[in-house]
Amino acid sequence: MIYRDTVRPEWVDYNGHLRDAFYMLIYSLATDAFMDGIGLGDEARRTRHRTLYTLEAHISYLRELKEGAAVRVDARVIAHDAKRIHLYLQMFEGEGVDPVCACEQMLIHIDTSGAPRSAPFDEDIAANIAAQQTIAAADASHAGRVIGLPVNRR
């Protein structure tokens, strides 16, 4: 677990459940917690002039959440290279074991000392990321999905 929150009244939509945009907000906050865990917390980001940007995110909505629901997010690294992290996050209600939502993100390491540009991870951060790689892509049940409708070839 890297992040916990509660579904707030202002996050609930006209259907009485968590508005889709707020799932991403929760994942964004969980990604901040992931950054803390790999050594890129607020102070490190400022002193190192490094951060992570999200290049792409895919969300699979599996079950609705209602106002007041306790939420927890787990994050695992699927893969990484010198500059990028393929992160898999799952959201759960309370202490439940079945995810209510899943998200995969492609993150890139950014040097912020001038105009933002991609940069290799510092060695200590790279080692921390490698230690977080606890899941294979095949084990991330909602990762790698493609959105699309079948093409009608008449």
Q: Where are the domains of the chain?
A: 3-139
Using alpha carbons, select from 108, 103, 105 the residue that is nearest to residue 84: 108
Whether domain 3-139 has CATH 3.40.50.300: no
Angstrom CA distances, 53 to 7, 28, 98, 122, stand at 25, 11, 29, 16
Least confident of 11-25, 36-50, 64-78, 138-152: 138-152
Rounded CA separation 118/50 (Å): 9
Least confident of 23-27, 29-33, 108-112, 147-151: 147-151
Confidence of residue 133 (pLDDT cuts 50, 70, 90): confident
- For residue 135, the model assigns a pLDDT of 62
DSSP 8-class letter at 7: -
Distance in Å from the first CA to the final CA of the chain: 49
The model's pLDDT over 57-92, given as tens digits with 9 standing for 90+, comes to: 999 999 999 999 999 999 999 999 999 999 999 999
| Averaged pLDDT, 110-119 | 96
- For residue 58, the model assigns a pLDDT of 94
Q: Is the pLDDT of residue 30 over 80?
A: yes
Burial profile 40-71: b = 16 or more Cβ within 10 angstroms, e = fewer: beeebbeebebbbeeeebebebeeebeeebeb
Confidence of residue 139 (pLDDT cuts 50, 70, 90): low
Tokens describing residue 75: 């994050």
Tokens describing residue 5: 């929150």
